[in-house]
Structure 1
Amino acid sequence: MAAVLQAQAFTKDQCATGLKAAVNILERWQATTDQACNILRISRSTHARAKSGDASWSVSLDPDQMQRISFVLNIHAALRLIFDNPENVYGFAAMANHNEFFNGRSPLEIMAQGDMISLYESFRRIDSLRGAQW
């Protein structure tokens, strides 16, 4: 039974694909390299390799890093449902937000603090804007 409860292992190729997608989204959100590295909990060299576009590159990531990638991808999906125009889909994360949680800071600033709670709470608040559109 314990083996069934273990976290799903991802292949190096799955990790690389998810990481490349998340890095591309973060770049479109205007995240700096440091912000992206903090959000995804990766090194600058891993970030650079993910951005390089090398199709043969692969990487091993731990469950925490994969969860962070999942949050970025799900925030992006929510933004695509909320907004029709690319300026808002890709610009929202960098915009100052006066919602009580963000308190004038951008979602990107909050997520870039690097802790999982900040990333999760940013996701939760952005996801709630879609108003059950799934």
Structure 2
Amino acid sequence: MADKSSESISVEKTAVALKAVRYFMAQWECSELEQQQLLDLEPSSFRRLLSGDHPEMTAETLLRISYLMGIGRALHILYPTEERAAQRIRLATTHEPFAGRSPLGLMLTGSLEGLALTRKYFDGRAQERVLES
């Protein structure tokens, strides 16, 4: 797991952000292990999160949540149903930056860069869609 910053964000902000991102991860049918990897949380921190005891999150974890929320928002612009959006996140593609992997596969590499590249890709496609409208 990545080295954590010592900077912490308020528990209230964390609870709101976690609720939103867990909604998207549930839509994408992410397993608990995948959710843990996407958030880069240790098993004990993730178990506390599932129990409703929201641990303080570092700035890096909130950045991961921000990327995931942006990806979820962009998918909902691009695809008319939650089911289609969920399918797309697991669909392998040769488009850059995925190189034959699914967007979820790239995000599960554990790097912030994988999340950032995935968000950039879907944000770009969503922006094109909005401009076409």
For residues 119 and 88 of structure 1, do their structure 2 counterparts lie closer, same or farther at Cα, with a shift above 3 Å needed? same
Pairing of 1:1-134 with structure 2 (within 5 A): 10-52=9-51, 54=52, 57-130=53-126, 131=128, 133=130
Aligned 8 A contact 1:95 1:107 in 2:
yes
- SS of the equivalent of 2:9 reads coil
1:17 Cα deviation (Å)? Answer: 2.2
Structure 2: distance between partners of 1:104 and 1:31: 20
Counterpart of 2:3 in structure 1 is none
Q: Distance in 1 between matches of 2:79 and 2:112?
A: 25
Give 5+ residue unaligned stretches, structure 1: 1-7
Q: How many residues align?
A: 124
C-alpha RMSD of the superposition: 2.1
- The whole-number CA distance in structure 1 between the counterparts of 2:74 and 2:105 is 18
Aligned counterparts of 2:16 and 2:44: Cα–Cα separation in 1: 16
TM-score normalised by the chain length of structure 1? 0.80
Contact 1:15 1:61 in 2 (8 A): yes
CA distance in 2 between counterparts of 1:93 and 1:61 reads 25
Equivalent pairs: percent with the same residue?
23
Worse-superposed segment, 25-34 or 76-85 = 25-34
Q: Structure 1 residues 91 and 45, CA, compared in 2 at 3 Å: closer, same or farther?
A: farther
The alpha carbon displacement at 1:48 in A equals 3.5
| Counterpart residue identity of residue 102, structure 1 | F
Deviations 1:53-90 (A, max 9, x none): x4xx3320010000000000011111111111221122
